[in-house]
Amino acid sequence: MIAAPFHAGERALQAQTGAREQMALVGPRVIRDRMPDQHRQFFAQLPFLVVGSLDAQLQPWASVLSAPPGFAHSPDATHLRVDALPADGDPLAAQLVHGAPLGLLGIEPHTRRRNRMNGTVESLDGTGFMVQVQQSFGNCPRYIQAREPEFVSARHDTAPVQRLDALDLDAQRLIGSADTLFIATAYPEDVAAGDDADATSHGVDVSHRGGRPGFVRVDEDGVLTVPDFNGNRFFNTLGNLLAHPRAGLLFIDHDNGELLHVAATAEIVHEGPELAAFEGAERLLRLRVQHALRRPAALPLRWGDAQLSPHLAGTGQWAAGRR
């Protein structure tokens, strides 16, 4: 058990929503410093793994690694071995060094299961890396769209990475039609100075967000607005953003394997007419895009049509005309 798993940003949002006392009891019971056997087995059956990292400028990035099931496996309860490495141009490639903090998300969309594991790189070699567990916990299945991945090739295209200083039309279309995104955030050591939380709360998180297609609004000024629905009240992602308002987003084109990595600054909107008008949203996340990386055909997985989460029945859509 971890006695104090939540840092100052997480605790502040828990207090604001009246959940602080409950989370103080729940957190130490469900956030562990080791992986239970169920989580260890789950990671080993996945064909992809979402990874959050932090660059030298303290910008978080979200990436994805993919290989046949078994490429991620746990030799013991405090370690996860990943037999895959990021390709050139993946933001993770520059950050993957000994001691680097990582956030890992194992997600199986077609069964709507997901588990989180945060840790540090303990070792690295020519075929993969080992992560030392700091925090391990499950996530609720709400808002996951059911779609099953399928490998199209053991080797995939290596088209040049395209840097975008602003979102072009293709990027806007991908984001504006998405029903899923992944978001990396961080609570860096420099930001954590003086916090009395357990040191395992420092580092990087990566999480999933889902909604009806078009739930991410793309405005002309390069700002993305995302509704935040009811969750587990841990506030890992939003707590990080309260303390360190920078995020890394990952959008996947499920038809062709294109990846879009977005670096953004973040603001949490707690009230106002836009929030009130979006059914089911408890707050909004405003993300101002700084730049993006497009990686065509970078992921050797394809998905069929998605079955939207039944929990989206009580959520709204953006009003037309605000693009």
CA distances from 202 to 2, 10, 176, 212, 236 (A): 13, 11, 32, 32, 11
CA distance 248 to 226: 14
Q: Take residue 228 and report the two structure tokens written for it.
A: 């935040």
Q: State pLDDT tens for residues 132-179.
A: 999 999 988 899 999 999 988 755 556 899 999 999 999 999 999 999
The DSSP bridge pattern shows strands 301-303 and 283-295 to be unpaired
Dmax over Cα atoms in the chain, in whole Å? 53
Given a cut of 60, whether residue 186 has pLDDT beyond it is yes
Report the b/e string of 205-242 with b at 16+ CB within 10 A.
Answer: bbbbbbbbeebbbbeeebebbbbbbebebbbbbbbbbb
Reported as a pLDDT band with limits 50, 70 and 90, residue 4 is confident
Give percent of the chain with pLDDT exceeding 70. Answer: 98
In order of 14, 46, 103, 311, the CA distances from 231 in angstroms are 12, 24, 19, 11
* Amino acid 153: pLDDT: 72
Distances, alpha carbon 224 to alpha carbons 22, 80, 247, 285, in Å: 32, 34, 12, 8
Provide the pLDDT for residue 156: 54
With tokens 């729940």, the residue in question is 26
Span 85-94, average pLDDT:
96
Question: Smallest Cα–Cα separation from 236: which of 146, 137, 148, 303?
Answer: 137
**Per-residue pLDDT at 72 exceeds 60:** yes
Q: Dihedral through CA 266, CA 267, CA 269, CA 270, nearest 10?
A: 110
Residue 179 near residue 215 (C-beta atoms within 8 A): yes
- Predicted pLDDT of residue 184: 98
Residue 125 pLDDT level (bands cut at 50, 70, 90): very high
- The alpha carbon torsion through 39, 44, 48, 53 (nearest 10 deg) reads 60
- Is residue 3 pLDDT above 90, yes or no? no
Return d(Cα 297, Cα 115) in angstroms, integer.
26
The torsion of the CA quartet 64, 254, 277, 269, rounded to 10 degrees, works out to: 20
Q: Number of C-alpha atoms within 13 angstroms, CB side, residue 148?
A: 4
pLDDT one-digit tens code per residue, 210-258: 999 999 999 988 899 999 999 888 999 999 999 999 999 999 999 999 9
Q: Which domains are present in the chain?
A: 8-148+159-300 (2.30.110.10)
CB atoms within 10 A of CB 169: 8
97-121: per-residue pLDDT in tens? Answer: 999 999 999 999 999 999 999 999 9
Three-point CA angle 189, 190, 192, nearest 5°: 60
